[in-house]
Amino acid sequence: MNLGSSELPGSNRSRCSPRAPTLGPLEGCLLSAVHNATPNATATTVRYTSLRSAVGTLYIAATARGISNLGMGRTERAFGREIARQHRAAVVRDDAGLAPLRRALQAYLNGERRRFDARLDLRRLTAFQRRVLQETARIPPGRLRSYGDIAERIGKPGAARAVGQALGANPIPILIPCHRVVAQDGPGGFTGGLRLKRALLALEGVRL
């Protein structure tokens, strides 16, 4: 799913499966380097890697359909158990196969990258949650929207609280930039905590 115009290292749009799920402006191609790294992977296998950064250790997971989870503020064991339960799948660590994604995330956290281009696997979410995340993905780097703004834009005025709940269920923060959504009267919440939300926004030139 396309989160911007620049592609992740090793991506190749011509190899995208036309049957792969897409979500409006998030549409794109999971980097071919990930597909090629584990050719025997099945739909019941979830691969993951980790990234140590100034904001803590991030864990990134991908199914055969795309990036499915980004976890923070937890242990590797807890993250593995969580994705195994969510996907009812075998979980394997694949640092080599997911290295291009790890490098792209590191570049973002270093302030060297502002957009991503990768396919995401959001099958576990409801239609409403996907609509909220679709609209959230449209927020440009360095810009903010309120929960009410998102509700209005998806045709659900008055559903600001439901929007907040949907964002709280965002399985792939940073790639789907829910840190750019705030409350009308304050910073709002964030999966990784307010300190991390402020740090991510600061990378984009926003002081919260």
Active site residues: 178
36 phi and psi angles, rounded to 5 deg: -75, -20
Residue with tokens 């709280």: 168
Note whether 46 and 93 are within 8 A (CB).
Answer: no
- Residue 172 CB contacts under 8 Å (≥ 6 apart), including other chains: 67, 68, 69, 70, 120, 122
**CA atoms within 13 A of residue 57's CA, in its CB half-sphere:** 10
Secondary structure E strands in the chain: 45-53, 56-62, 67-72, 90-93, 145-146, 181-182
Q: Computed from CA positions of residues 132, 100, 190, 114, in that sequence, does the dihedral angle turn out positive or negative? A: negative
- In angstroms, what CA-CA distances link 80 with 89, 133, 162? 10, 24, 28
Between CA 201 and CA 84 the distance in angstroms is 31
Q: Name the 3-class secondary structure at 167.
A: helix
